[in-house]
Chains A and B, each alone.
Chain A
Amino acid sequence: MKITIHSLVLGVVSLLAMSSPAHVQEAAQKASSQNVSVPDFMGEWVRSDAEARYMPPASGAGPVRDDPKHPHHGHREGVPGLPDLDATPWVADLTNPILKPWVAAALKKNGDMGLAGEEVSPPHVYCRPSGVPLSLALLENVHFMQTPAKVTLVYQRDHQLREVYLNVPHSRNPQPSYYGESVGHYEGDTLVVDTIAMNDRTVTDLYNTPHSDAIHVIERYHLVNDGKNLQVDFTVDDPKAFNMPWSAVVHYRRTPAAFQEVVCAENNIDVTTGKLYPIPAAAKSDF
């Protein structure tokens, strides 16, 4: 379950320092002649928890969960021995102590809209980037690639690209973006990923829980179950949106599904209603 990465031997670190951006310098400083064994995450994974939910942590503050009066279930059709079911909306339990009042109010509105049959969907449904941690709730595959300087995750959903720069500090003033800036390092068998500088145009979970641009997410990826599963323990800290940091756990399993071109703008049919979701459209060509 380990792969060995041979780093470059570099005698040019001091010269690099004169001319290159901070992250290149840092990578150069970390490069060494030693082989580093790191856990092998490469290839295709898909969420293995039901409905791609965030699972609660062993202890402490946890993620937004279902309102017990309105449990969510997905669309089910043609499953032998089980009745067909229409999907029910994601209605949040508003008693969760993590929620700031404005976030609880937003969730109340989302739940009411969902129960009224109105459309409430996270950005990826409209072919928008997910950001973190919402990317952990995508139902489609994630493709892992590992090199000495970075770990690259490509979410099959619209081929969203996310890069984790290894063994470097965060930039001084990273520009806010959907996926923000992720830096990481290995701690033994665990890949630790620290993400900041995300904009507030994404949501936190499938209940469409809003977050602010102060959101800070730490994910810890490690193999479990003899390498058959990948577990991610993650913590979300956003003092503008949540009263306290909270944690959750998700699991993936390896999948033989192909890593391939799947275009959101052509696959945006609501499976429950058969209706097309609106997709982003540019007013004019940019170049």
Chain B
Amino acid sequence: MIGFRPVIAGAAAAAALSLGTTFVLAAGAEPDISGIWWATTYSPKLLPIGGGDPPLNAAGKTKYQENMAGLRSGSIVDKARKVCIPDGVPRVLETPYPFELFQVPKGQITMIHELNHQLRVIALDKPLPKLESLVAFGNYNGHSVGHWEGGTLVIEGNGYNEDTFLDSTGLPHSDQLVTTERVRKINANQLEDVITIHDPTYFTRDWQARFVYNQRNDIRMEDYSCNDAQHRDLSGVKGVAEVRAARAAGRFP
């Protein structure tokens, strides 16, 4: 971790930490969640809120087994890691790389993830297109719209293609996936994203997962080029070393 620690308390510290991309918006404007955010932990497996396993239905269980077996044997390629296509939502939320969130220009939220320079453009206060109209035009990271409910940014997403997994273990989704994210600051320096997964093709009910990111306006976003020998040092993100060891030992595809 880079050694930027606030030595000043309260509002001044918050202002200092968010200085990098913050500017004072007009009165009544949206809350400021802009800046660089970085998870402190990494789990390749999506962890449902409340514990346990994701509520897969019979078709989902079959598909998940197929995916895991295929990833192990190599008959299924994890394209997000092999050729650096986008991860899809929610997998993109669990990566151990930072992302930057922009609140300009007005009416638009943009998220750029360092990993594979993935882009999410979220139009504010626009209706979400009907799923049927988007299925033929699926994006990896879907189509998203958002609106503010007090201090919480609510992002609705659909129109996902079927070329991604929900997580790095091969958890499946269909093109019927609809996501709802509730994004808010839980304190001056942390952002929370609680996502609801709705995909009746593979799950018995809607379920949720939660991600927390630290504000890191002390770092800069870096270039990312697929298969370069050097990328950002992830050793400060808990869980990365364990997954790398598991892969090296052949315990994880």
Contact = CB atoms under 8 A, between A and B. Distances in A.
A101 B16 CA distance: 51
A265 interface: yes
Nearest to A282: B227
B19 A10 contact: yes
A94 B19 CA distance: 49
Given A42-B104, A261-B139, A163 B83 contact: no
A163 B24 contact: no
Nearest to B6: A19
A227 interface: no
A286 B42 CA distance: 13
Given A11-B12, A159-B117, A261-B140, A282 B81 contact: yes
Interface stretch (A50-58, A145-153, A210-218): A145-153
- By secondary structure, the A interface counts as loop
Contacts of A283: 227
B85 A158 contact: no
A148 B247 CA distance: 43
Contacts of B220: 23, 163, 165
Contacts of A42: 104-105
A177 B223 contact: yes
Nearest to A152: B102
Nearest to A13: B16
Interface string A249-261: 0000000001111
Classify chain B's interface size: 35 or more
B128 interface: no
B225 A129 contact: yes
B90 interface: no
A193 to B, nearest CB: 15
B239 to A, nearest CB: 9
B196 interface: no
A19 B5 contact: yes
B5 A149 contact: no
A211 B39 CA distance: 37
Interface string A130-154: 0000000000000101111110101
B223 A284 contact: no
A194 to B, nearest CB: 16
B20 interface: yes
A159 B118 contact: yes
A147 B221 contact: no
A178 B86 contact: no
A236 interface: no
Interface of B: 2, 4-8, 12, 15-16, 19-25, 34, 42, 44, 78-79, 81-86, 95-96, 100, 102, 104-105, 110, 112, 114, 117-121, 139-141, 168, 217-218, 220-223, 225-227, 231, 234, 240, 243-244, 247
